[in-house]
Structure 1
């Protein structure tokens, strides 16, 4: 289809659903969020394909750097803006705030996006052929497979995993439907997802690394605000402001990385980015209940530099060997993998947070027994302090024990968060072996080394 018409329609869909979302609650809110996702989810690959088609190979690094700034700016600014809105206004304003942005986006796309007439004609011709053979089976299998997998990962820990029949059913359904989806896409005349693109090792490695990166990004966006609000006592606004240095660093570094891309091997940029992220994760793994806002800044600054060094070269290199007429398919598949990675990372780390906290809690409680003198002494001191605050003498021992358990609970959560911060950094080391598949040739839109047409 016409890229300009497509992106305008998608932005209109996003804006229309945004209007509906702001007046809904509970299950209806979830429903309209899902519908909104149909429009929003298709924007990024379309925009990325347009960038690849518009800019020359010498300009690709800079173009993707600016695109990366926009992509990373949303998740980075979101917590700050959302926290301020929640603390000072009613929650529907979270959706109202998107309306002027959507209107400006529609105007800018209609005004500035230029199209390749030859490519538009080819896309329209291809769309006419594909419209007669829409892969409804592939769409249904993918939707069912991903939704049941997501439910399995998010709800499994709460329902004792395979002890629960619904969880077992979701796991079995996800495995079966995703296997059938792969078979379907490899045999369909017009597949909804072009899996043959994975024949290209550059695209495959770049997309997988991007998926892992987004998994860790989403995990970090979940873990750090929860740590600050639940354990350090930050408000939503304060936790958002604490993350602002990462935004500023990413905005500063992305254009620099874009210029470096034309002069330095993308492998080197990604490798250095991994080291920066790992350094930030190591610093975060030492957070405790005494950590201040200033103590958080160095670690998130290091991670902001790391993400800038990772996202720009990966977004550019992964599509560098894809033919122009397959760029939209490739950008869509790469975006799908990133979204899956982000969702899976969020679900897995949320599950691990509960599991690690339980393990740490049991380990700490094992050391708190009445026969230990330091425990008895601690309870006596806390009991006396509570009596000084007006707690009756007969209730003070129980209140002291409750207070001690609360301290143990907090410490268990700290240990759990620290362990997950470290795990996120160590997982980034898996990126390093994939660097050998990243092509250092910066040519854009070159013929693919393997045949991927149907």
Structure 2
């Protein structure tokens, strides 16, 4: 990567410390924050029982430790470009990294539920800008020919983080105190801070352009747009996170939040399209390359997050795996993604994005279909075979979708585009989780009722099964009445478990069908024309 130092002194004497650059140092530097933020989106879930006991919260109340984090994250993501122009892209990244680390440390010290929710919210505010800022910096650091490699690195942080979060969290909780799931961010964050401060430097031309736009922003501050955005996204995320627990639109609170969220977001869109200097540049969606890539990315991420949610629940609830065991069983998918993504990044330069994404959908869909055959006798080898197929599929999809979506964005608009791209990906994942969580509850009730309808004691096979169970219990020392009651309870438990299996199998089939439905949408994945914004030389300097 060439140095972009254009100072007058450079015409007289060479710049001794900025002449040699290493793009891999900037990559390593900015990936620390994104990886920590991605891990923290899922690592807390396995520790909720321990945290709940420590802060004295109910099962319903403790979910706010996750909800508050996600709400804060989505509020910041679309404002990344706006903040970068006001304060500088590097300063925003460093400030958010500090906020994330401080929030993590305070979460480990939380003494009750309100303080935990507050500190998780602070942590989320810091995490929100890390992901889109890293994506923008990598796009500006690597050449057009290397964009596949850049997005492969970004994809590993975004996708592998949530995958290893439960495993890491389970290990920490099983061997140490739950607070270490937060404290572990502190040394890593400090290292990342000093690496970014030392090695990442914004291009002067880019900063000059940002300063001009910042002056316009200060004269025409879009306060109403920012307020509408924050209110709309916060309420939308609340509905998606808490809707299932509150029985969706049977709850007056969910209904009110949905109406207010929809009104705020519609008003926000109108405001941003008419404001002299909008806080969020929604006109980027006029570019068909960005629009098609971003929307497809959101759809794929919805199915991805739903799939990543279902399997751990299946293993822990029905197969009796511990959190650590289920995390270890899922590790092959993470390893496959780590191995495949660099290869896909190189392949992106030679194979059209549509072909890569289509192949990824086929692999991921076939993996989901394999999961639809799971039963109570399913072993680890059956799970590993299915998730390895999904690992290949997710790698083939995510890398080209991320690279293609931003391929035609001018460098001065890159932070705006990555913020919107990250936001829609996050909302897509939240919607996928909300839909599949709701369907799991409904399908299990339906399946249980359907099985129970056939449990007529007058049927020979039912009476025989009950008799065998009762006889076995009596041989263990129970009297006839107690054995009869216990056999009935065992039969109810068996019905419940079988109903859950049928519900999971149905959802895995649905996930496979959703991949099939997404497949024709690849037609709308526009190819980036030559001469796109990414063709320009990189504009983030990295010194060594």
Q: Under a length normalisation based on structure 2, what TM-score does the superposition of the two structures give? A: 0.79
Rounded to whole Å, the distance in 1 between the matches of 2:296 and 2:283 is 18
Aligned in 2, Cα 1:348/1:84: closer, same or farther, shift over 3 Å? same
* Equivalent-residue separation in structure 2 for 1:388 and 1:192 (angstroms): 74
- Show the counterpart of 1:451: none
Please state how far the C-alpha of 1:219 moved relative to its aligned partner.
1.4
Please tell me whether residue 316 in structure 1 is matched to residue 316 in structure 2: no
Which of 185, 195, 208 does residue 108 from structure 1 map onto? 195
Task: Tell me what 2:150 maps to.
Answer: 63
Out of 288, 292, 316, which is 2:379 matched to?
A: 292
Residue aligning to 2:105: 19
Please identify, of 40-49 and 175-184, the stretch whose mean Cα deviation from structure 2 is larger.
175-184
Tell me if structure 1 keeps the 8 A contact 2:288–2:526: no
* Corresponding residue for residue 308 of structure 2: 221
Does the 8 Å CA contact 2:293/2:526 hold for their aligned counterparts?
Answer: no
Alpha-carbon deviations, 1:219-270, whole Å to 9, x = none?
1222111111111101111011011101111111011101111100011000
CA contact (8 A) 1:62 1:258 kept: yes
| Paired residue total | 448
1:184 aligns with 2:271: yes
Secondary structure of residue in 2 paired with 1:114: strand
Answer yes or no: is the 8 Å Cα contact 1:283–1:299 preserved in 2: yes
Partners of 2:214 and 2:450 in 1: CA distance: 60
Residues 272-305 of structure 1: per-residue CA shift (max 9 Å, x gap): 0000000100001111111111110011101111
Contact in 2 for aligned 1:262/1:442 (Cα 8 Å)? no
Please name the residue that 1:306 is paired with: 393
Report the 3-state secondary structure (helix = DSSP H, G, I; strand = E; otherwise coil) of the residue aligned with 2:461. helix
Instruction: Tell me the CA shift for residue 441 of structure 1.
Output: 4.2
Indicate whether 1:342 and 2:429 are aligned. Answer: yes
- The counterpart of 1:379, out of the listed 466, 478, 481, is 466
SS at match of 2:481: coil
Equivalence map 1:357-436=2 (5 Å): 357-436=444-523
Determine if contact 1:150/1:347 at 8 Å carries over to the other structure. Answer: no
Name the counterpart of 1:351: 438
Residues in 2 aligned to 1:220 and 1:47: alpha-carbon distance in whole angstroms: 26
Deviation at 1:157, TM superposition (A): 4.3
Among 82, 93, 100, which residue is 1:7 paired with? 93
Give the counterpart of 1:231 among 306, 318, 321: 318
TM-score by length of 1: 0.94
CA displacement at 1:308 relative to structure 2: 0.6
Secondary structure class of the residue paired with 1:243: helix
Residue number in structure 2 paired with 1:252: 339
In the alignment, structure 2 segments of 5+ residues that lack a partner are 1-86, 536-544
Unaligned runs of 5+ in 1: 449-454
| Counterpart for residue 137 of structure 1 | 224
| Cα separation, 2, equivalents of 1:277 and 1:132 | 49
TM-fit CA distance, 1:118 = 0.4
Shift of 1:140: 2.6
TM superposition shift of 1:158: 4.3
Q: Does the 8 A contact of 1:198 with 1:204 survive in 2? A: yes
- Cα distance between partner residues in 1 of 2:284 and 2:132: 15
